[in-house]
Amino acid sequence: MKYYQIKDLYTSIFKSYEKPSLETHIKKIMDLDSYLPYSSTFFCITNTQSLEFEYISKNFKACLGLDSNELKTQGMRYFWSRIHPSDLEKWLKALNELMTFTLGNINEEDRYKANYTWNYRFKNAENVYVNLIQNTTPLAFDSQGKPIIGLAHYTVLHSKIKMDITASAKLLNNQNEYETLYFNNYGKKLLSEGISNRERDVIRLLVLDFSSKEISQKLNISPHTVDTHRRNILKKLNISSTGELIGMLKMNQYLI
């Protein structure tokens, strides 16, 4: 999948109407980082609006062998390019569903107490895909209460460990303990057996950027029927838009 397609999907999830100041958060993290020992974990401050990493801890290179300056310069474009291609669509789907759950199920005044975890495979400096478990805590929110600035803590696990892609949302309770509010497993492929052969035909043509009218002519069905298939596909796959579907499938065409 092209960078601009990933960017469009990612920014649609984190679309915001303001850009909070990060100076206080970054200073605290930088002060803390100087005291931490080297280990198999590292952390970053992520800015989902500028698509940049505001801060990258010293352990990034120790964990992955990669140059933190390159990550700092290229931002999320570089980071996305190193996620395993088979995990990208699941990762984007997990982000979208976590955001939807947050906005619909966690009160705005409680969102600062939320914590999110998901995982994926990531290519290190030796071109080996290791497992990354990302644990993110929101630091700042936009005017709509959407978390857009986060402290992301990454744990690196061996490449031979087989892990399904999962995502969870937790919230601190009155006892100051995290309770899991949301969990989903994305281990299954996007196109399940619930998709009919005709729907697969429609999907293949959508990925080739054909309109409903053009698809109707190629499949010898009415445009209204094509639109019905499109709505059913989105409902079955729990995807919010055709653009999101196309983006994910262009990223992993073997799923079609």
Average pLDDT over the chain, rounded to an integer? 84
- Considering the chain, what percentage of its residues have pLDDT values greater than 70? 86
More confident residue, 137 or 195: 137
CATH topology of domain 197-255: Arc Repressor Mutant, subunit A (1.10.10)
Is the pLDDT at 129 greater than 90? The verdict is yes
Q: What pLDDT, in 10s, does the model give residues 210-221?
A: 899 999 998 889
Class of domain 3-185: alpha beta
- Sketch the domain layout of the chain as residue ranges: 3-185, 197-255
Please give the model's pTM, rounded to 2 decimal places.
Answer: 0.68
Does the pLDDT of residue 18 top 50, yes or no? yes
Nearest to 249 by CA among 212, 197, 209, 215: 209
Structure tokens belonging to residue 186: 């994305």
* Pure H helices in 19-84: 23-33, 59-64, 68-74, 76-81
- CA 48, chain centre distance (Å): 11
Instruction: Give the pLDDT confidence score for residue 22 in this predicted structure.
Output: 59
Q: What is the per-residue pLDDT across 149-174, written as a single tens digit (0 to 9) for each? A: 899 999 999 999 988 899 999 998 88
Q: Left (φ > 0), alpha (ψ -120 to 50) or beta: where does 65 sit?
A: left
Name, in order, each residue with C-beta under 8 angstroms of 129's C-beta and a sequence gap of 6 or more: 84, 121, 122, 123, 159
Check if the beta carbon of residue 20 is closer than 8 Å to that of residue 47. Answer: no
Specify whether the CB–CB gap between 252 and 90 falls below 8 A: no
- Sign of the torsion angle spanned by Cα atoms 228, 229, 230, 231: positive
